[in-house]
Structure 1
Amino acid sequence: MTDTMVVELGLQAMSIAAKMSAPVLLTALAIGFAISLFQSVTQIQEATLSFVPKAVAIGAVLLFTGNWMLHEMLTYTEQLFERVPDLLR
């Protein structure tokens, strides 16, 4: 295994991790910003107000993107296992 292969594997792993976490993180960011804006406008300063909407939104995002995430992870894992003989040389 060459250093180029190691860097390529690391890059692929980071890329798949970013793709898998992006929908959840962006949803949490958007909901958090919207709740924060709502709290600023209405002057309601309750720290627990954002928990339930975030939990519901993240659950919905996982429901809608879970199939895609599973497919991406299976594809990545299959490609990785197919490359094992080349990596062991």
Structure 2
Amino acid sequence: MTSQLVLTMGRDALTLLLMVSMPVLGSVMAVGLLVSIFQAVTQINEATLAFVPKLIAAMVVFAVIGPWMISTLVDYIRRTIESIPSIVG
């Protein structure tokens, strides 16, 4: 196993991590921004008003994009496990 192979596998893993996590993080960030703007305009400082919409947005994104996320992760894990014999031997 060469150092180049290890770096390539690490880069692929980080790329996959970013690709899978971005839909959830992006939607939660957008909802948080909208709620913050709403709270600033109306001067309502309620903690649950900031938390509950983010939680609902994350659940909706997981429900819609969850199957794609799981299949992408399973494909990556399968490719990694199948490449073990060629890496070792």
Distance 2:50 2:31 in 1: 8
4+ aligned runs moved over 3 Å, structure 1: none
SS at match of 1:62: helix
Cross-structure match for 1:84: 84
Give ranges in structure 1 of 5+ residues lacking alignment: none
Distance 2:75 2:36 in 1: 38
Matched, 1:65 2:61: no
**Bigger relative CO (Cα 8 Å, ≥ 6 apart):** 1
Paired residues, number: 89
The Cα offsets for residues 5-56 of structure 1, whole Å up to 9 and x where unpaired, read as 0000100111111112111111110010000000111111222211111111
Matched, 1:26 2:48: no
Percent of aligned pairs sharing the same letter: 38
Give ranges in structure 2 of 5+ residues lacking alignment: none
Distance 2:48 2:68 in 1: 31
Distance 1:2 1:50 in 2: 48
Cross-structure match for 1:17: 17
Distance 1:53 1:45 in 2: 14
User: TM-score by structure 2 length?
Assistant: 0.94
